[in-house]
Structure 1
Amino acid sequence: MPGQGAPAAQPPGAAPPSENDPVTFTAEEVEYDQNRALVVARGRVEAWQGNRVLRADEFTYDRNTGVATARGNVQLIEADGQVVFADSVVLQNQFRDGVIEGLRGLLAQNGRVAAAGARRTDGNFFDLSRVVYSSCDPCERDPLAPPIWQLRARTATLDNEARQARYRDAVVEFGGVPMFWTPYLQHPAGSVPRQSGFLSPTFGVTDFLGGFIEVPYYWAIDESQELVLRPQFATSAAPNIGLEYRRRFNFGEIEAEGSVGYLDGTSSTPEGWAGHIFSRGRFAIDDTWRAGFSLNRASSEEYLRVYRYGARRLLDSNVFTEGFWGADSYARIDARAFQGLRSTDDNSLIPVVGPNIYWDWRAPVDSLGGTFTADTWNFATFRDRGTDTQRAAIRLGYALPATDRMGGLWTLRAQSDLVAYNYTDLNDAPNFATGRDAGQATVANVRAGLDWRMPFIRRAGAYGHQVIEPRVQMVTGPVTGRQSDIPNEDSIDFEFTDANLFSLNRFNGRDRQEGGTRIDYALRGAWHFPNGGLLEGLAGASYRMQRDGGPFYAGSGLENRASDWVGRARLAPTPWLEFMGRGRFDQQGGDPRFLDLSASVSLSSRTTLTAGYLYTPAVPYLTPVRNRDEVALGVTQQFGNWRFSAFGRYDLEQERPVVISASAAYEDECFLFEARFLKRFAEIAGTSDLYPASTILLFRIGLKTVGDVGFRAI
């Protein structure tokens, strides 16, 4: 007889193996008793029938009864790759049924199961007795030592068809020490199709809820949609129920999350019914167009915090459609509404926007090497109290780059804007300058600029190369003035930095137009190291010819003829060190007006330190109107399977922390432990009370392939 071999591969187009196929085997030695129709094979036996393979030291097959007996180093290999090891096996009914002694199974996802005995039925069910299960690898130094965790059960059922393992009278052991008992436990055994069932619970204690527990239920509705039901029960609050719904289509998807509960008014939240909904949808209409929506509403930020649905201050709901034509054209039509969630937010002043229409187009490069662009941005805003605005705006632009004989880089740019307004109640808007109550206005503006920069490059041999690049730009156009009689919907948030120093119009939107003649200038230096490192710095400013400060507010850095200095610096000499800084400084005395500094140091591949500093002056469009002066420090450390991190921000102006957090986690092939701590020091406006759920302590224990459990304290 031939030696040990594997089953022959099926030829292309052949039918799959059948359970009625005859038993085929190879072995080193075979005996056949014709009188009893008994086949005995010994030595590296491999037998297969259909898609099941059996390996053993000795194999006996009774052709009359179809009973096969295997002894010694028995391996039973299923078609899905699962392997069962045993001391001895008695099989019948085409290897589908049998009795197994000393079972040891190797399941998918590193799962390992052992049992004193087992009975196999219909090829799919294993009824096990005195069972041990774990997905942990044996200890290399002591393979007989107990794993990090294991399940012990009096009986268990392994359902190969449903890919589920079910235990009865089960105990969870950690390091061989029993820690948790349950009368019933179920978990996936291998790669499992979506199935309905209970998910791992979360429990804990908070100031608002008291003791609470959440036991989610997952409902696999069909192949394209699913629902998660999250009932939550607490000792100090009424029950709360959350829902998560997802559905996929051939042309898109929708997702929705919501909840409902009753608040008793014992905290900062008012008494009554409360809830939230967060939803979104995305749909492909054709190769060019897609559409979508998002609906986000909530009773309050406090409700979201105390019931653990995430802390959000502002919610945005919208419906849109947009089209893409390569990289040259884009269009979008949408409508949106906003909701402020804090008690200090006056939603009557927050606009509803619709329609909001945007389109842009870029022409191919012309014969001169220039590029023409065009876009239009039109919208209507409505408020219960405040300014209602309807706007139509069009912008045309042109850019022509060129290089002179000396290596100078020239760019001629031009931009024209035409904006028409219809508005009401302009003097009721708190962020707008006072003006007429209602009216129409048309604003036209033309800006042209000539930009020159000259990169001087010096080779430094083994030290890389250096670049010094002066840059000057002259921009001119009509003087636009204060524009106090024009609504300001899209240009309220303004910040002067090195990023917009050379922009023709340094406002982000169209409602404020920069005018007049100015000169922008900057000097950039860089040292590029051979290892990819970089040392770079830039400093620049702007000078306006006319004395009128135009639409810039006091403290913006552009209210005077000579602007503040802006700059940036970056130092990254090696992969383990990086420094970034951006700032704005007073033109006369050099006092800082804005600073954003950050540093990252990787002391090793597993240790990283980060630090930051942020200073921003008080601006009229943010509440409260005050300086922001903060420092931040963070550290992450990985040691073997352990990960540690800590982070904190401190307000130098208020002389108190802003937020502190810390976490520790352990993870290996079978076990996960995670602990997180977070404390925010934000106060409710007008009081000294912190927002609910400002302090959070989380614990999570995960047994891979089985499930996880979480504990939360607030």
Structure 2
Amino acid sequence: MSVFGSGNGTGPWQELGLALRKVADIAFAASLLALLPAAGSTAAEARPAAPADAKNTDAKGKPASDKPAERLLVEAAELIYDNDRNTVTARGNAELHYGPRTLQADRVLYDRNTSRVFAEGNVRLTDETGAVLTGAKMELTDDFKNGFIDALRIQQTIEVKGQPVRTRFSAPRAERIEGDRTSFEYGTYTACEPCKNNPETPPLWQIRATKIIHNNETHTIAFEESTLEIAGIPLAYMPYFETADPSVKRKSGFLTPRFITSTALGTGVSTPYFFNLAPDYDLTLSPAFLSNQGVLGQAEFRQRLDTGFYNLRLSGIFQTTPSAFLPGPLGAGDRDFRGAVESKGQFHINDRWRTGWDLVGVTDKWFLDNYRIRNQSITTDYFREAVSTAYLIGQGDRSWFEARGYYFKGLSSFDWQKEQPIVLPVIDYDKRINGPAPLGGEVRFEANITSLTREATDFQGVPRTGAYLLSPSANGISYPLYETCLTFTRSTCLIRGLAGANTRASAQVSWRRTFIDDAGQVLTPFAYLRTDAFFVDPRKTGYQNALVQNLTTQDSDLSGRVMPAIGLDYRYPFVANFGALGVHTLEPIAQVIARPSETRIGRLPNEDAQSLVFDDTSLFEWDKFSGYDRVEGGVRTNLGGQYSVVTPAGWYANVLFGESIQIAGVNSFRRGDIANVGLDSGLENRRSDFVGRFQLSPNQNISFISRARFDQRDFAVNRFETGVTARFAPFLPLDLSVFYSYYNAQPALGFVHRREGVTASATYHITPNWFVTGSALVDLSHYLDVRDNFADAYTAYLANPVGTAPVYVNPGKAYLSGISLGAGYQDECTTVSLNYIVSPIATALGTAERNRTVLLRVELKTLGEADLRQNLGTVTTSDGIATVR
């Protein structure tokens, strides 16, 4: 045997023999050693010997590649070559490289006769995928593709939902086959980190099986006679199951089943199956087998293209027990077939243009809710509504174009579809350019075209402003008498939308330029010209003929209006730097706008300008209406000021206060249109209400804001909003959000009572893994329902002079309208959460009701997730179900 780096010859012949022996050793090792040892180590390269019968085939019997064979690179503190046994031993931090695979151990012996590698002591094998195999002993082929491993552990890092997750296999003995399969005898699998203080403690969950076969070529893991253990306790036994490798993002197979139970549907299970048809498209079939209704079929097709994506979802059922649902018009009990079509897509035409759609079609308004089909496009608070839209959007450096169409499907029991408009098209264009010399500044061009049709007029009766009487109603609840709205009169009716066709084209060109003088005064003159053209074709058919025939002042056919304006915005900021106390800025603001009075108030429809809110955000707007159907007129000045502080420590505070004054001309907000927009807004008098805002942020994690509108006469609060969002980490593991809102009565708009409520949400991390969370919606004035009617909070009504606001004896009571309470556990491998949810719903009678649901969600990362949702019951039939649950 010869040891590299040592010798003990005696005598010339012995020395000559030893020298010749060394030359032979070196010549033979030349095929193994090509890399000289680095400092403190020895390195060698070797080309593994191929079997005699495998000259023209690879290890799998396939034709051999013409590529040169990969070399075996050996590095160690000491290399020992045994010429008699034809072996090479690497000792001391031995590291062998073969292509992308690396073997590390305390001692490695390479037997060239058998082309086997024997490693022992802290053995670590890293393969081409980055997976790390560790064991006490390994016996491998020289390319590390085949062999046996004792006390094997495999750790692999993969990405799941954008987060890195480590998976682990372990077994007392395993066999590595062809480099792409590993067979574990009595193995375990988990994605959980071992306990740092006690590594022998069982992980939170693991799969224990008699045999586990991990196939890296097909990317599957097969478990034979397996058991799911939670904290070491066996919970579920499975004779055999196969799942995709965690590195696989798309693979055909069954997905997590979903269990269903309800009075109308019975008990059932949905068993989704995913078809990975191609890298760019797939299909998911999700039949649900229901004991009371039969088979609910669901299918979703998805495809991603070079320029975008689209999907199509179909669902339908031929009900075996339609009588479980109410008959029309309160339910779909008279239908045998029920179903829905949903589709969403978006495509980029080029870097500036994109188009897409989001469509929902249903056979009846209750289908999606009855069969618990989830759709993120559907709003669920109080009113349920599905909005379908298609669009074309273009964006330039300083321009924007958008064309859309809308179809609204009301899903609440009292919705009448004929009152819902079909809006097609809505076209917006916005372009900004530099102003021409000598004006300079900025020129902006805005345009909008909106066209809609509606089969029936959407109207609402205004509550009486005289004596408030009580009349009996359903379930013993009393409601105040509303004015009848059989024919339109301004004092008894609000028209939310007219039947017929309504098309409007609007265009506005504006200019503004800012000047700053040597004293720091900021002057911004501006001007704009607005034009609108309306084409109205009111429809007066059916029982609503009497309602709309009294709209004698309503313009029909073609009409228009023009609104020119000039104005000046003046600001004079005073800035002072107080060092550690921060930079303080006091800024008085004055704005004056001169324009003629608005024309045709009430003679034109108002579809998009009904949400008028006067507060700090709209105080200095040139036109305070929210849409194009109304335009502000008359000479008006807006006065106010703001004070702000920014400190080096990161504190920020801002206070704003002001009012708006009508100087001349017709006050657009004093003369309400057919929807009474402008009245009870705080702008209807010559001097408006005062508006203010206070904002405080002591750091980037905490933000407090309050805004209010105060009555001009007595400073009474007409509108108030305040809230705080805070993240107290690392001092306190708490995330908090609380908002309080108060809105005074607006009888002219149909709100004869104040509205007041609190929304709050919080998450507290008990430990880094355990958390509790909750949210609540509290109605502090619960005497109203979702249709602006009264419930049972009034005990009496006082008779007031006609035209005055009502006086209430009982101001209302608090009502927990919605709540969510939950707790959960989350770590690197597991997420478990349990939530109790109470959500508001809209009933057939319009009374406020709630749905109570328990939701359990369990996710074992890399294996799958499951949701269990159970409705606890409700006393309403708003969902069209015939039996009380």
Verify same fold: TM over 0.5. Answer: yes
Q: Given the alignment of the two structures, is residue 712 of structure 1 paired with residue 869 of structure 2, yes or no?
A: yes
Q: How has the CA–CA distance of structure 1 residues 23 and 348 changed in structure 2, closer, same or farther, with 3 Å as cutoff?
A: same
| Aligned-residue offset at 1:158 | 0.9
Distance in 2 between the 1:573 and 1:72 partners?
57
Q: Given the alignment of the two structures, is residue 81 of structure 1 paired with residue 209 of structure 2, yes or no?
A: no
1:663-691 deviation digits (Å, cap 9, x = unpaired) = 22211122221222210133404165846
Distance in 2 between the 1:625 and 1:261 partners?
45
Q: Which residue of 2 aligns with 1:479?
A: 597
Q: Secondary structure at the match of 1:412?
A: strand
AA in 1 matched with 2:725? S
Q: Which residue of 2 aligns with 1:309?
A: 374
Q: Given the alignment of the two structures, is residue 435 of structure 1 paired with residue 562 of structure 2, yes or no?
A: no
Q: Which residue of 1 aligns with 2:838?
A: 679
Counterpart pick for 1:266 among 312, 318, 324: 324
Distance in 2 between the 1:585 and 1:29 partners?
87
Distance in 2 between the 1:621 and 1:191 partners?
62
1:282-304 deviation digits (Å, cap 9, x = unpaired) = 22223332222221233455433
Kept after mapping to 2: 8 A contact 1:378/1:391: yes
1:215-247 deviation digits (Å, cap 9, x = unpaired) = 322222211112233333344443333333321
Q: Which structure's relative contact order is higher, taking Cα pairs within 8 Å and 6+ residues apart?
A: 2
| Aligned-residue offset at 1:65 | 3.7
1:274-328 deviation digits (Å, cap 9, x = unpaired) = 333332222222333222222123345543334141453222223332322212x
Kept after mapping to 1: 8 A contact 2:42/2:77: no
| Aligned-residue offset at 1:358 | 2.4
Counterpart pick for 1:647 among 775, 778, 781: 775
Distance in 1 between the 2:118 and 2:770 partners?
48
| Aligned-residue offset at 1:30 | 5.2
Kept after mapping to 1: 8 A contact 2:93/2:106: yes
Distance in 1 between the 2:551 and 2:225 partners?
74
| Aligned-residue offset at 1:178 | 1.0
Say what the alpha-carbon RMSD is for the aligned residues. 3.1
Counterpart pick for 1:404 among 517, 524, 532: 517
Q: Given the alignment of the two structures, is residue 423 of structure 1 paired with residue 536 of structure 2, yes or no?
A: yes
Q: Given the alignment of the two structures, is residue 633 of structure 1 paired with residue 763 of structure 2, yes or no?
A: no
AA in 2 matched with 1:130? Y
1:124-135 → structure 2 map (5 Å cutoff): 124-135=180-191
Farther-moved stretch of structure 1 (228-237 vs 246-255): 228-237
1:558-598 deviation digits (Å, cap 9, x = unpaired) = 22222122221112234554321122222112222222211
Kept after mapping to 1: 8 A contact 2:226/2:239: yes
Q: Given the alignment of the two structures, is residue 658 of structure 1 paired with residue 714 of structure 2, yes or no?
A: no
Q: Which residue of 2 aligns with 1:553?
A: 678
Q: Secondary structure at the match of 2:324?
A: coil
Distance in 2 between the 1:82 and 1:577 partners?
43
1:423-446 deviation digits (Å, cap 9, x = unpaired) = 111776989976347322111111
Aligned residues: 705
Q: Given the alignment of the two structures, is residue 586 of structure 1 paired with residue 657 of structure 2, yes or no?
A: no
| Aligned-residue offset at 1:27 | 4.5
Q: Which residue of 1 aligns with 2:412?
A: 342
Kept after mapping to 1: 8 A contact 2:41/2:78: no
Q: Which residue of 1 aligns with 2:582?
A: 464
Distance in 1 between the 2:186 and 2:778 partners?
57
Counterpart pick for 1:292 among 336, 352, 356: 356
| Aligned-residue offset at 1:603 | 4.6
Q: How has the CA–CA distance of structure 1 residues 4 and 193 changed in structure 2, closer, same or farther, with 3 Å as cutoff?
A: farther
Kept after mapping to 1: 8 A contact 2:435/2:511: no
1:627-672 deviation digits (Å, cap 9, x = unpaired) = 4311223322123212221111111111311210122221112222
Kept after mapping to 1: 8 A contact 2:586/2:643: yes
Distance in 1 between the 2:225 and 2:79 partners?
45
Q: How has the CA–CA distance of structure 1 residues 258 and 521 changed in structure 2, closer, same or farther, with 3 Å as cutoff?
A: farther
TM-score, reference length from structure 2: 0.74
Distance in 2 between the 1:672 and 1:621 partners?
51
| Aligned-residue offset at 1:365 | 4.1
Q: Secondary structure at the match of 2:368?
A: helix
Kept after mapping to 2: 8 A contact 1:216/1:230: yes
Q: Given the alignment of the two structures, is residue 391 of structure 1 paired with residue 468 of structure 2, yes or no?
A: no
Counterpart pick for 1:447 among 565, 578, 584: 565
Q: Given the alignment of the two structures, is residue 496 of structure 1 paired with residue 614 of structure 2, yes or no?
A: yes
Counterpart pick for 1:103 among 125, 128, 152: 152
Q: Given the alignment of the two structures, is residue 598 of structure 1 paired with residue 726 of structure 2, yes or no?
A: no
Kept after mapping to 1: 8 A contact 2:704/2:723: yes
Kept after mapping to 2: 8 A contact 1:115/1:132: yes
Kept after mapping to 1: 8 A contact 2:555/2:604: no
AA in 1 matched with 2:351? D
| Aligned-residue offset at 1:112 | 1.6
Indicate the structure with greater strand content.
1
Q: Which residue of 2 aligns with 1:116?
A: 172
AA in 2 matched with 1:181? Y
| Aligned-residue offset at 1:125 | 1.5
Q: Which residue of 2 aligns with 1:191?
A: 247
Q: Given the alignment of the two structures, is residue 358 of structure 1 paired with residue 436 of structure 2, yes or no?
A: no
Q: Secondary structure at the match of 2:862?
A: coil
Distance in 2 between the 1:465 and 1:53 partners?
61
Q: Which residue of 2 aligns with 1:607?
A: 734
Kept after mapping to 2: 8 A contact 1:425/1:436: no
Q: Secondary structure at the match of 1:200?
A: coil
Q: How has the CA–CA distance of structure 1 residues 505 and 52 changed in structure 2, closer, same or farther, with 3 Å as cutoff?
A: closer
Q: Which residue of 2 aligns with 1:231?
A: 287
Counterpart pick for 1:373 among 419, 436, 444: 444
Q: How has the CA–CA distance of structure 1 residues 459 and 208 changed in structure 2, closer, same or farther, with 3 Å as cutoff?
A: farther
Q: How has the CA–CA distance of structure 1 residues 222 and 103 changed in structure 2, closer, same or farther, with 3 Å as cutoff?
A: same
| Aligned-residue offset at 1:23 | 4.5
AA in 2 matched with 1:594? R
Distance in 2 between the 1:4 and 1:163 partners?
38
AA in 2 matched with 1:588? R
Distance in 2 between the 1:610 and 1:361 partners?
38
Farther-moved stretch of structure 1 (443-452 vs 574-583): 574-583
| Aligned-residue offset at 1:169 | 1.2
Distance in 2 between the 1:170 and 1:323 partners?
56
Q: Which residue of 2 aligns with 1:320?
A: 391
Q: Given the alignment of the two structures, is residue 53 of structure 1 paired with residue 102 of structure 2, yes or no?
A: yes
Q: Which residue of 1 aligns with 2:696?
A: 571
Unaligned 5+ runs, structure 1:
9-15
Q: Given the alignment of the two structures, is residue 166 of structure 1 paired with residue 222 of structure 2, yes or no?
A: yes
Kept after mapping to 2: 8 A contact 1:661/1:678: yes
| Aligned-residue offset at 1:201 | 2.8
Unaligned 5+ runs, structure 2:
5-36, 46-64, 158-164, 457-498, 783-812, 872-885
Kept after mapping to 1: 8 A contact 2:680/2:749: no
Q: Secondary structure at the match of 2:841?
A: coil
Q: Secondary structure at the match of 2:418?
A: helix
1:349-407 deviation digits (Å, cap 9, x = unpaired) = 22222233322221214444421111221232122230311222211111122223432
Distance in 1 between the 2:357 and 2:183 partners?
50
Farther-moved stretch of structure 1 (212-221 vs 39-48): 39-48
Q: Which residue of 2 aligns with 1:11?
A: none
Farther-moved stretch of structure 1 (303-312 vs 139-148): 303-312
Q: How has the CA–CA distance of structure 1 residues 160 and 87 changed in structure 2, closer, same or farther, with 3 Å as cutoff?
A: same
| Aligned-residue offset at 1:254 | 1.3
Q: How has the CA–CA distance of structure 1 residues 331 and 457 changed in structure 2, closer, same or farther, with 3 Å as cutoff?
A: same
Counting aligned pairs with the same residue, the percent is 29
Distance in 2 between the 1:23 and 1:245 partners?
48
Q: How has the CA–CA distance of structure 1 residues 7 and 196 changed in structure 2, closer, same or farther, with 3 Å as cutoff?
A: farther
Kept after mapping to 1: 8 A contact 2:244/2:251: no
Q: Given the alignment of the two structures, is residue 148 of structure 1 paired with residue 219 of structure 2, yes or no?
A: no
Distance in 1 between the 2:842 and 2:407 partners?
27
Q: Secondary structure at the match of 1:475?
A: strand
Distance in 2 between the 1:7 and 1:296 partners?
67
Distance in 2 between the 1:403 and 1:72 partners?
78
Q: Which residue of 1 aligns with 2:643?
A: 525
Kept after mapping to 2: 8 A contact 1:611/1:634: yes
Kept after mapping to 1: 8 A contact 2:612/2:678: no
